């Protein structure tokens, strides 16, 4: 694993330690209204996994559904970044993900970015559904 490159800094962004971005989709930075995932900047909600990042049509954690992962590689943990604060997810929604074999971690977006990168670096099958700060 290569050390992270410094990359461009935008005020308010947090740089994160990451695996080699040439090999996997890593979250390099996040900040108000934006993410830098691999070499691409996102200014909208995004679903990211080891092999790809795609737009996620969401406004809040209420938009979660196990169908979100239907086209993703097998995932054991979905980390959900809800914006500035973690949000409540109903027991029924948690049960639906559990029935699909996916654990949920619901946190603020900054924590979701950090957790995703750590789990990815550990080789875990992880995805992150992120709503910008």
CATH number at residue 106: 3.40.1230.10
Please indicate, yes or no, if residue 110 is contained in any of the structural domains: yes
Please indicate, yes or no, if residue 14 is contained in any of the structural domains: no
**Total domains in the fold of the chain:** 1
Please indicate, yes or no, if residue 39 is contained in any of the structural domains: no
For residue range 57-101, what is the model confidence (pLDDT) as tens digits? 998 988 999 988 887 778 999 999 999 999 999 999 999 999 999
- Give me the pLDDT at residue 1, please: 37
H-type helices in the chain, by residue range?
91-99, 109-121
CB 109 within 8 A of CB 132: yes
Q: Distance of CA 65 to CAs 11, 30, 35, 54, 124, Å?
A: 33, 24, 22, 16, 21
Please indicate, yes or no, if residue 76 is contained in any of the structural domains: yes
Please indicate, yes or no, if residue 8 is contained in any of the structural domains: no
CB 65 within 8 A of CB 116: no
By residue range, what is the domain housing residue 51? 44-130
């Amino acid at each position: 694993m290569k050390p992270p490159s410094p990359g461009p800094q935008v005020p308010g962004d947090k740089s994160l330690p990451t695996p080699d971005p040439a090999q996997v989709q890593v979250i390099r930075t996040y900040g108000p209204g934006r993410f830098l995932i691999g070499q691409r900047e996102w200014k909208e909600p995004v679903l990211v996994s080891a092999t790809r990042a795609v737009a996620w049509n969401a406004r809040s954690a209420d938009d979660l559904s196990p169908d979100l992962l239907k086209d993703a590689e097998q995932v054991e943990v979905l980390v959900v970044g809800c914006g500035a604060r973690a949000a409540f997810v109903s027991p029924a929604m948690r049960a639906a993900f559990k029935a699909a074999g996916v654990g949920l971690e619901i946190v603020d977006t900054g924590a979701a970015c950090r957790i995703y990168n750590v789990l990815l670096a550990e080789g875990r099958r992880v995805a992150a559904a992120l709503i910008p700060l």
